[in-house]
Amino acid sequence: MNIPDFSRMPKLNLSAGQGRINTTDDEVFDNVSRNIRRGLSQVRPFDPNPHNALLVCGGPSLNETEEALVRAHWDGGKVVTVNGAYQWCIDRNIRPSAAIMLDAREFNARFLEADVPGCRYLLGSQCHARAFEICRDRETFIWHACSLGQREVDLLNDYYFGRFYPVDIGVTVGIRALTLLRLLGFQNQEIFGLDSCYLDRQHHAYAQPENNADQCVEVWLRPEGGDHLAQRFVCAAWHIAQYFDFLEFVRDRGDKVNLQVHGSGMIATTLRTGYTLQMAKEQAGCIAGTLATSNPKPPQ
């Protein structure tokens, strides 16, 4: 992994609403307490399957990778969207197989207004009640991010008698979705629109005015031993939090999931430059080995 150089960037408070939970703890707790009593089936573990999950997030690179997404969908990949990427896909006649939501704020419910027959709706227990009301007559399942830690775990233990499945790692729904899909048995995941940066001054592939006032900083990706591959990115605090959460996911569970990240965002660039440097090292090793073999030492 090649970590961006944060040494010269302004200090950002990742716990002040932009990088961490954007709703008060009490609101989240009340949402969870109410929603677990709706009688919905929980998302539960499934055995690994051979299918390819196409996770569609809302980053700006989504518009540049639309053709690749359509091809992967035609090849049999199952489209799973988060937040506004759900409507983005519908507008392009790309049928979602599932829609995931995590955010506890009421305005996010608007992303689910269109009903897609056959789509499954996977709502985090901390989502606002309006999201659950919109999905009342749909095939809806509940899952648990446990964002509040032990306080929420105790609540869930009491209600489910200890039989629930925490979906941990990550602040954003995009990162949580990686674990959620693996829980459902998807070992192969192609990811679209998970950028963790602005592209062409856009924070999403669609209008989301709630993020227009986000504080931004300049970040440089400077791979060790690859200064010629350095790239500049502009990020909000939640982008940076998401980036490090992705690295944590790869370190903790990268051996359990085959990931392919599309686009020109900071996450895809990190993986791509890391692969480029690794291939260069392997090729250099092969050349050195060939030279050593073709130029043996003279006999003593």
Angle between helices 237-253 and 266-294 (to 10 degrees): 40
In this prediction, residue 272 carries a pLDDT of 87
Is 37 inside any structural domain? yes
Strands 4-5 and 120-124, bridge-based pairing: unpaired
Residues for the chain: how many in total? 300
Is 57 inside any structural domain? yes
- Encode pLDDT of 197-251 as tens digits: 999 999 999 999 999 999 999 998 877 776 777 889 999 999 999 999 999 999 9
Is 159 inside any structural domain? yes
Lowest mean pLDDT, pick from 8-22, 207-221, 272-286: 8-22
Domain extent for 212: 11-216+237-263
Q: What's phi and psi for 235, nearest 5 deg?
A: -135, 150
Percent helix, strand, coil in the chain, to 5, is 40, 20, 40
What are the strands of the beta sheet with 231-236, ordered from one edge?
Answer: 4-5, 216-221, 231-236
Residue type, 267: I
Is 268 inside any structural domain? no
Is 284 inside any structural domain? no
In this prediction, residue 17 carries a pLDDT of 34
Is 276 inside any structural domain? no
pLDDT band per the 50, 70, 90 thresholds, residue 55:
very high
* Residues whose CB falls within 8 Å of the CB of residue 71, separated by 6 or more in sequence, listed in order: none
In this prediction, residue 291 carries a pLDDT of 32
Is 117 inside any structural domain? yes
In this prediction, residue 48 carries a pLDDT of 96
CATH number for position 137: 3.90.1480
Is 253 inside any structural domain? yes
In this prediction, residue 21 carries a pLDDT of 57
Share of the chain above pLDDT 70, in %: 83
Query: Considering the entire predicted model, what is its pTM?
Result: 0.86
- Encode pLDDT of 76-89 as tens digits: 999 999 999 999 99
Query: What is the average per-residue pLDDT within 185-202?
Result: 96
The number of folded domains in the chain is 1
